[in-house]
Structure 1
């Protein structure tokens, strides 16, 4: 056997045994070694026909590969914009279009559930993307305090707030202090703010809340 083949097979066996599939797959890691860091994966996902759910001449919408709720999508511009830090007033129409597209996707996915639309203050993935996420948080991929707090604290910046900030200042000027501390906060229910020690106990509690839109609330 050729030496390089032996090394490749050995690496593959190592990845199969050690990669945590709850966050990234073996395939993701293998591709990262060939095409760059895993944080660049969104650009590739935009061309993945199995992930894309909608698109137009300005945007692409994909399903989040590891959704943190029953419905979780990412709205991304076709134009390369690394993050909110690179957004200016010239991008306001794009930001508004992203918000509108997100609302359309949410309505199409489920007319009854509440959704939020926004950005992580410090995104882990490169390329601007807006999250469209249902508020049931019913997903096996939601496993850690970091996962939870990234969507239920000030770490998650509402899309309308971003648009208003850019309108007023000409750029995104985050007022989120100590973002890392937000991810380490105690677990709190996003509806009633009750604290919990573990994600499993929090998940059991969440289902007790009605997270449908007011017009669909059961009497």
Structure 2
């Protein structure tokens, strides 16, 4: 693409580093389209070319590992509170919680939405309107909010699955992939085509899934949420039935096995 003087090129996706190369367009006015490098000695020497290049105020694209390219600087006093742009995949919840089609309940403090990729027949997310990036950002000031989120989760179960005999759990992922703290309200049938791999299963059926009441107690006693080191390794554990503890070799076999535990 061509840029005219005064135009600004914006990079809107911060998921991957960019390498941008600029080339001066040749002019036909005879003023000289390209600067010629002065060479001495061995013209094939890379060292000579590097020495003769004009100084640059920024690192020349393509001369370093792209993974070392910094993202735009974070603003504000607390850099850790900086959120990814709404276009980033991890910000999907912030978009969904504003979508009336996704909402099943809302009040002044929270909104409940259907999980876009449910891992069971019933799977909702309770999200606070207040901007809280993750459990790491939770403090004792959020205690009443956490209690309210739990109460709302139980209300949704009563309102939408009251006639069901299914068992439910309310809790948080220790290390969530999506930004904005959210409480999972999920039935224990795990009957869903969206449950596809070991990571999905273990995120709800190991200690990676933190019970809502346990989080409330932790904040009440310590004023914050602590996640143990090595928690991410729980996602790699063998597949084990959450009802009878039988080990299964694959997700398809696990799903077939789970049918035995479904309430008729």
Which TM-score band (shorter chain)?
0.7 to 0.9
**Which whole-Å deviations, capped at 9, do the CAs of 1:94-145 have from their partners, x for residues lacking one?**
0000000001111222222110000000000000100000000000000000
> Counterparts in 2 of 1:41-56, with a 5 A limit?
41-56=92-107
Could you tell me whether the CA contact under 8 Å between 2:86 and 2:95 is conserved in 1? no
Alignment partner, residue 123 of structure 2:
72
Alpha-carbon offset, residue 177 of structure 1 = 3.5
Scaled by the length of structure 2, the TM-score of the pair is 0.66
State the distance in 2 between where 1:117 and 1:160 align: 8
1:179 aligns with 2:231: yes
What SS does the aligned partner of 2:215 have? helix
Q: Give the equivalent residue in structure 2 for 1:30.
A: none
Which residue does 1:195 correspond to in 2?
Answer: 247
- What are the residue-to-residue correspondences of 1:1-219 with 2, within 5 Å? 35-111=86-162, 112-174=165-227, 176-210=228-262
After TM superposition, give the deviation of residue 210 of structure 1 in Å: 4.2
> Where do 4+ consecutive residues of structure 1 move more than 2 Å?
none
How many residues end up aligned between the 2 structures? Answer: 180
Whether contact under 8 Å (2:126, 2:184) holds in the other structure is: yes
State TM-score, norm by structure 1: 0.79
Could you tell me which runs of 5 or more consecutive residues in structure 1 were left unpaired when the two chains were aligned. 4-33, 212-217
What residue number does 2:5 align with? none
Larger Rg: 2
Measure, in 2, the Cα distance between the counterparts of 1:149 and 1:201: 15
Q: CA RMSD in A?
A: 1.6
Structure with greater helix percent? 1
Higher relative contact order (CA 8 A, sep 6+): 1
Measure, in 2, the Cα distance between the counterparts of 1:96 and 1:145. 31
SS of the counterpart of 1:125?
Answer: coil
Structure 2 unaligned regions, length at least 5:
3-84
